[in-house]
Amino acid sequence: MFSREWFIYVFGRWILLSGIAGAILQVLLRERLGIPDFPAFLLNQLLLACVFWYVDKYIFQRHFGKVKQLFKFPRIKGKFEPRLEFAKVTEEYNQLATDFSKDPDHPQAWLNRFLDLYHSVEMMERVLRDSGIDVDREYHRILEENRKRGLYG
């Protein structure tokens, strides 16, 4: 939680920009326009929210993109359980392996099977998440292991 990015956001965005801008705007609304404290505060917050909606949207654009991309495929209707979904993943893998071995140099010949496999793996993740499994914790554990092994650039 306390990453470099977090400190920049908290001190840069919240304390410097919102804090100072809010204080200046409060003084301007109260002293220059003669608006009483509480209405000036409410107007101050409304104006800052209108501005910082776009600032925060820009800051978190990278993060929100990741959330949107968690699942590429829509959810399939029906009830699923890990055992059945594992059988589906295995089936899709075997079909991909067969098509890939026929013509590995031409992805168009096996791309559909690859995406079917990807979809079945996504469904397995959904089944696990729906079952209360903390997929994110395991994901971060694997990232940390790979980072320690120097696998990322």
94 and 130 co-located in one domain: yes
Domain of 38 in residue numbering reads as 4-68
pLDDT digits 0-9 by tens, 20-57: 888 899 999 999 999 999 999 899 889 988 888 877 77
86 and 141 co-located in one domain: yes
Q: Is residue 90 part of a domain?
A: yes
Q: Is residue 77 part of a domain?
A: no
Instruction: Find the DSSP H helices in 11-148.
Output: 21-27, 37-59, 61-68, 82-102, 111-130, 135-148
143 and 87 co-located in one domain: yes
124 and 92 co-located in one domain: yes
129 and 98 co-located in one domain: yes
The total of structural domains in the chain comes to 2
pLDDT digits 0-9 by tens, 107-136: 999 999 999 999 999 999 999 988 999 888
